[in-house]
Structure 1
């Protein structure tokens, strides 16, 4: 985290992650491993995405009066109805979204993409959409993996996607209070570059970091890999401006208050149903000058997670902690193509039999501070029979931590199904829940006549429990979306039945909507509907997401 900041990456192509010419290659050893796991040669399949002109778009256009009204607000060049803009906003980056996009299916594309310049234009656009019965889908980086940016029109006459990329920049900075206000359309890397000029950081680095926006982080209650040290994004947000069809709402702004229920908490995680987040005020922290990397091996997932629990409950957590189960560790070892100290460390890990790998990172103002923090954590690690590995193993992980979405594009090209899901629960239920969800997924693939690899890790740790993040790799087959749909349904049922949250940080969107009543109850859903009705009486805001 202390290295020089790289340039802000280009926005993602419509069919995958990142720039079109980004490195998506998988090593020969990696391809061979996947072939053995799936029972067929992966490198024998080559299914590139269709060309843009071959993408099927719905033949739907805005009424001339609606287009004219929108153009009057933002200008002709910022009301886009061309094929490229509509295809780029047809979905997010879930497996379902990418399979459909690569195959040329953009049936859920919006009728138009509107790019407002500021909160005032957002307000005017919402008024136009309400007057012309147009659904509105707020769109930041487009990284949703739960259907959060699908252009669903519901019962409305049309649907527009509101792309917030022009709401960028650092609006205000208070270096004394260490707070910063950003436009909602600022992406993670740009926010870090703007703060680095003042020797500050957010410390928020989710897998979507390169593409996702701060407004999106707030709207989905994002959690980054350094959440153990820096907190979740909802812990970082102090205030936000939300533009609704009924007017502008400014919530939060104080370090603490007892002025009634926290409306800011209602906005965080609202996924566009209550309006458009146009700016967020966040707390910043000093940019670390030193980071210590450590890797540890444990004989079982139970011992690895018990060690993390002790760190959390003794308040000696590192800023980043990740514990992989034996399956994820095994795949990591077999696909490791690195050399030098990292490879020697992985080789040592392999000799331990069937171990679990734990990655730990500590940030601080100097090496003495981070070394002391790491030393304070070691008794808990050794108490659960952890074995220390070379720090190069952790440094290699950190250097490649944003590479998975690029590799997924290559796997899709090879006809491989790859998707993720996540949950969280209390410590006493963590290992049983992980086993139940893994079994549900594996059984669903077996019922489909095939097999899969299910990898699990813990990457967000709390005093009372932790998250579980599962990566599923399998044979796509002739019905990839149906196959994944059945596995995801089985996993979601297992999560609900075995005491997990339906989502820890991916949000609800469309995919988890049916399970939200299990978590908040029917009365909770009624409260959400009532809040939405107060600010959006015509229900034009992001219909079909979060709740019915």
Structure 2
């Protein structure tokens, strides 16, 4: 990815073909896109950063393991491996002043080389930080700025193969550095899919998914990565921690669960055994409109309680629904007439279009299964006052789902912060968490005397509750942009735990969410976790200070 932003160089968000977007932004955060000055792309030659402190003898030892070609102390390589892609990361890297970077980046070819690297790091009393795709937004990658030891970033990008597929069991062994698209291409060639599609899919790896307890857009059917990952290899000092790909086991406290979400603090994940599924004969995303958020939320809960089993159940609140419509390209011809007729019909039914909520529900399987599921869901939607609006918006959803992060860079170019926070809560507390979070964000905007925006969608349904995914934005001041960001972010995170939600549903803890960990899992929970890290990594060599400072 770009060293200074999200995604591929030359790709970005454009609003010129979206006539509703500029008026929407003006109303939401008071930013006039027609008059605002867009920041120039930062120049890498202006970046200020410390020199590498890696000793020549240590670099020689690493080169003896992976080859000189795969050991780098180049400035650009070190900067790319310093941060993830959080709003905080992007603001700091764009400032051109970076306090601490990895001193060396190494690219192992296989598990044996990773083991030798880890052993060399321990012998050197250095620090090792595993690196997958670099898409993390919770502060799980950055080095401690006070760290004086040599810091080694181990980039697993060369380890990107599907090693084997057990056709009878539906289990695949995959190297941890496999990026989402490469992984799916390899599985698809043999008729399989992992079914895991997070927003970061194009730039994240299976090892990173495990390390942060990732969740995907189709987790309603396929499960979160904690359900998908059945086994794993983790390289530790002097040996390999191996968890076999077993459907289920009763073998004491789950070491598999300890590795899930460990963010590199227990070792380097090199291989994951995942459950895979045959590619479904049919896959479709249908769109539905609901008259308001309350009705849509009730429908999602009813679907979760029913015999229907969609692959996606998602409902946007009125604000996010308005945003989705504003980021759509202009309708023309027949599509425009159909859209106008539909909105006219809803008005005549008494709908307040400012309260309209857009829902996407996905179906997969045989044609008969899809038809049966769609019929069951349709009855529930109708019961809660909603209507189906076909597959057109669903196609748009599929096209746009991996492009949203580019919008954050576009806003940042204009001096505006745009970021996300997500939580999960029981159905009984979901509305309360929603209300408290909206109120907290608006209170923070008032404190800053800023026009701010916050919107939400519900996704990832479970038997007992669901995920709420909030997006917030405001125009930052020049003097202390990150201080202002902290006020808003802290208000949102605090509202989560006070109202009965968790501090993170699928982005991990890192540094970003660690201040609220004790509120979430209790002081004794933190004590147990601290004991685990101290025992497993007494020297603090593995990605220190993440999760627990």
TM-score range, shorter chain: over 0.9
Q: What is the alpha-carbon distance in structure 2 between the residues aligned to residue 344 and residue 60 of structure 1?
A: 62
Confirm or deny that 1:544 pairs with 2:545.
yes
Confirm or deny that 1:224 pairs with 2:216.
yes
> Secondary structure, in 3 states, of the residue corresponding to 1:357?
strand
Q: Which residue of 2 aligns with 1:490?
A: 491
Greater shift after overlay, 328-337 or 345-354? 345-354
Q: What is the alpha-carbon distance in structure 2 between the residues aligned to residue 420 and residue 346 of structure 1?
A: 30
Post-superposition offset of 1:488: 0.8
Q: Which residue of 2 aligns with 1:519?
A: 520
Q: Which residue of 2 aligns with 1:364?
A: 365
Q: 1:129 aligns with which of 121, 129, 132?
A: 121
C-alpha distance 32-104 of structure 1, shift in aligned 2 (>3 A): farther
Q: 1:56 aligns with which of 21, 27, 48?
A: 48
Post-superposition offset of 1:436: 0.6
C-alpha distance 312-384 of structure 1, shift in aligned 2 (>3 A): same
Greater shift after overlay, 491-500 or 275-284? 491-500
The 5-angstrom pairing of residues 276-315 of structure 1 reads: 276-315=268-307
Post-superposition offset of 1:529: 2.6
Asked whether the equivalents of residues 285 and 391 of structure 2 are also in contact (C-alpha less than 8 Å), the reply is yes
Q: Which residue of 1 aligns with 2:67?
A: 75
Asked whether the equivalents of residues 233 and 242 of structure 2 are also in contact (C-alpha less than 8 Å), the reply is yes
> Secondary structure, in 3 states, of the residue corresponding to 2:203?
coil
Post-superposition offset of 1:56: 1.5
Structure 1 residue runs without a partner (length 5+): 1-11
Q: What is the alpha-carbon distance in structure 1 between the residues aligned to residue 529 and residue 59 of structure 2?
A: 31
Post-superposition offset of 1:413: 1.3
> Secondary structure, in 3 states, of the residue corresponding to 2:546?
coil
Asked whether the equivalents of residues 292 and 371 of structure 1 are also in contact (C-alpha less than 8 Å), the reply is no
1:349-376 deviations in whole A, cap 9, x for unaligned?
58432211111110113x3321111112
Q: What is the alpha-carbon distance in structure 1 between the residues aligned to residue 189 and residue 103 of structure 2?
A: 40
Confirm or deny that 1:149 pairs with 2:141.
yes
Q: Which residue of 2 aligns with 1:21?
A: 10
- The TM-score normalised by the length of structure 1 is 0.94
Q: What is the alpha-carbon distance in structure 2 between the residues aligned to residue 435 and residue 243 of structure 1?
A: 44
Q: Which residue of 2 aligns with 1:424?
A: 424
Q: 1:96 aligns with which of 88, 98, 101?
A: 88
Q: What is the alpha-carbon distance in structure 1 between the residues aligned to residue 241 and residue 7 of structure 2?
A: 34
Post-superposition offset of 1:260: 2.1
Asked whether the equivalents of residues 151 and 160 of structure 1 are also in contact (C-alpha less than 8 Å), the reply is no
Greater shift after overlay, 144-153 or 22-31? 22-31
Q: Which residue of 2 aligns with 1:5?
A: none
Greater shift after overlay, 387-396 or 166-175? 387-396
Q: Which residue of 1 aligns with 2:25?
A: 34
Q: Which residue of 1 aligns with 2:254?
A: 262
CA root-mean-square deviation: 1.8
Asked whether the equivalents of residues 52 and 104 of structure 2 are also in contact (C-alpha less than 8 Å), the reply is no
C-alpha distance 369-67 of structure 1, shift in aligned 2 (>3 A): same
Q: What is the alpha-carbon distance in structure 2 between the residues aligned to residue 161 and residue 345 of structure 1?
A: 54
Q: What is the alpha-carbon distance in structure 2 between the residues aligned to residue 339 and residue 293 of structure 1?
A: 20
> Secondary structure, in 3 states, of the residue corresponding to 2:455?
strand
Q: What is the alpha-carbon distance in structure 2 between the residues aligned to residue 338 and residue 288 of structure 1?
A: 32
Q: What is the alpha-carbon distance in structure 1 between the residues aligned to residue 336 and residue 155 of structure 2?
A: 44
Asked whether the equivalents of residues 156 and 540 of structure 1 are also in contact (C-alpha less than 8 Å), the reply is no
Q: What is the alpha-carbon distance in structure 1 between the residues aligned to residue 145 and residue 518 of structure 2?
A: 23
Post-superposition offset of 1:338: 4.1
- The TM-score normalised by the length of structure 2 is 0.94
C-alpha distance 488-346 of structure 1, shift in aligned 2 (>3 A): farther
> Secondary structure, in 3 states, of the residue corresponding to 1:42?
coil
> Secondary structure, in 3 states, of the residue corresponding to 1:450?
coil
Greater shift after overlay, 439-448 or 464-473? 439-448
Q: What is the alpha-carbon distance in structure 2 between the residues aligned to residue 536 and residue 261 of structure 1?
A: 18
Post-superposition offset of 1:175: 1.1
Greater shift after overlay, 402-411 or 217-226? 402-411
Q: Which residue of 2 aligns with 1:385?
A: 385
C-alpha distance 430-219 of structure 1, shift in aligned 2 (>3 A): same
1:214-265 deviations in whole A, cap 9, x for unaligned?
0000111100011111111110111000011242100142112222222111
Asked whether the equivalents of residues 42 and 415 of structure 1 are also in contact (C-alpha less than 8 Å), the reply is no
Q: What is the alpha-carbon distance in structure 1 between the residues aligned to residue 124 and residue 279 of structure 2?
A: 47
C-alpha distance 297-264 of structure 1, shift in aligned 2 (>3 A): same
Q: Which residue of 1 aligns with 2:511?
A: 510
Q: What is the alpha-carbon distance in structure 2 between the residues aligned to residue 343 and residue 152 of structure 1?
A: 53
Asked whether the equivalents of residues 18 and 406 of structure 1 are also in contact (C-alpha less than 8 Å), the reply is yes
C-alpha distance 452-346 of structure 1, shift in aligned 2 (>3 A): farther
Q: What is the alpha-carbon distance in structure 2 between the residues aligned to residue 102 and residue 313 of structure 1?
A: 47
Q: What is the alpha-carbon distance in structure 2 between the residues aligned to residue 63 and residue 539 of structure 1?
A: 20
Q: What is the alpha-carbon distance in structure 1 between the residues aligned to residue 200 and residue 339 of structure 2?
A: 27
Q: Which residue of 2 aligns with 1:534?
A: 535
> Secondary structure, in 3 states, of the residue corresponding to 1:447?
helix
Confirm or deny that 1:400 pairs with 2:400.
yes
C-alpha distance 334-168 of structure 1, shift in aligned 2 (>3 A): closer
> Secondary structure, in 3 states, of the residue corresponding to 1:302?
helix
Post-superposition offset of 1:311: 0.7
Q: 1:173 aligns with which of 157, 165, 171?
A: 165
Q: What is the alpha-carbon distance in structure 2 between the residues aligned to residue 234 and residue 42 of structure 1?
A: 42
Asked whether the equivalents of residues 116 and 166 of structure 1 are also in contact (C-alpha less than 8 Å), the reply is yes
Moved over 6 A (4+): none
Post-superposition offset of 1:346: 5.3
1:417-466 deviations in whole A, cap 9, x for unaligned?
10001001001110111111111112112211111110100111111100
Greater shift after overlay, 353-362 or 247-256? 247-256
Q: What is the alpha-carbon distance in structure 2 between the residues aligned to residue 117 and residue 196 of structure 1?
A: 24
Post-superposition offset of 1:177: 1.0
Asked whether the equivalents of residues 440 and 494 of structure 1 are also in contact (C-alpha less than 8 Å), the reply is yes
Q: What is the alpha-carbon distance in structure 1 between the residues aligned to residue 537 and residue 276 of structure 2?
A: 33
Q: What is the alpha-carbon distance in structure 1 between the residues aligned to residue 120 and residue 374 of structure 2?
A: 56
